[in-house]
Amino acid sequence: MAAPRVPGSGDERRLELPCGETLDPHEIDLGMREYTCACGTRHAVVTDVHPPSRFFPESLVAVLRETIDTDDEFEEFGTPHLMGVVLEEFPDRVVAFDASDDGAVGYTLVWVTDFDARRLHEIVVELVVELMEHAISHADDDDAVSEFETQMLEFDVSEFVEQYRRQRDFESEHDRPV
Ligand SMILES: [Zn+2]
């Protein structure tokens, strides 16, 4: 009997996707943000090399670094934390692959999701808003809390994602991590 396949384990050279198809991690290059799959849909691809500014502005990244404590091997809040939150929320729809022992790829970690890059972007922004709400609810400053809540009532996630993706020209192959 064949050993069970463990997605993400170091000696598994085929990454099993949530849809049931497989992907060779060596096919993933650092510029890839979406993978057109044999199942007929596109899956978002994120590597640890992609900065969080793939999803939102550097100014917000800075705020998150200030407010969120990380107690793991990563020095500061970054893409692995974002994808960790997504994975926690959608355990059946995200696969992670550890390529740290593979010198042939330029990344250490890669995540592939069942949903496409645009939907992932919305999910990441929604989860970050929740993280910030949680962080700010512990603040002593009631004014800050209510101001934040007011801003969030007006905040339209899909509108933000639309604009941000247009600004950063995500479909362009010339887009580079900043
Ligand atoms: Zn697929």
Q: Where are the domains of the chain?
A: 15-168
Place of tokens 């992907």: 23
DSSP structural state of residue 111: E
Ligand 1 center to residue 103 CA distance, Å? 26
Ligand 1 center to residue 33 CA distance, Å? 14
Mutual orientation of helices 142-154 and 117-137 as an angle, nearest 10°? 160
- Residues less than 5 Å from ion ligand 1, measured at CB: 19, 21, 37, 39
Ligand 1 center to residue 26 CA distance, Å? 17
pTM as predicted? 0.83
Cα separation, 46 vs 84, whole angstroms: 12
Ligand 1 center to residue 112 CA distance, Å? 10
Ligand 1 center to residue 13 CA distance, Å? 17
Cα separation, 121 vs 159, whole angstroms: 12
In one letter, which amino acid is 6?
A: V
Over residues 106-115, the pLDDT tens digits come to 899 999 999 9
Confirm if 121 and 24 have CB atoms less than 8 A apart: no
Over residues 79-101, the pLDDT tens digits come to 999 999 999 999 999 999 999 88
> In DSSP terms, which residues pair with 111 in a beta bridge?
46, 96
Ligand 1 center to residue 42 CA distance, Å? 7
Average pLDDT value over all residues in the chain: 85
Give the model's pLDDT for residue 9. Answer: 47
Ligand 1 center to residue 88 CA distance, Å? 20
Over residues 134-154, the pLDDT tens digits come to 877 777 778 878 888 888 888
Ligand 1 center to residue 111 CA distance, Å? 13
Length of the chain: 178
Lowest mean pLDDT among 2-6, 26-30, 66-70: 2-6
Ligand 1 center to residue 113 CA distance, Å? 9
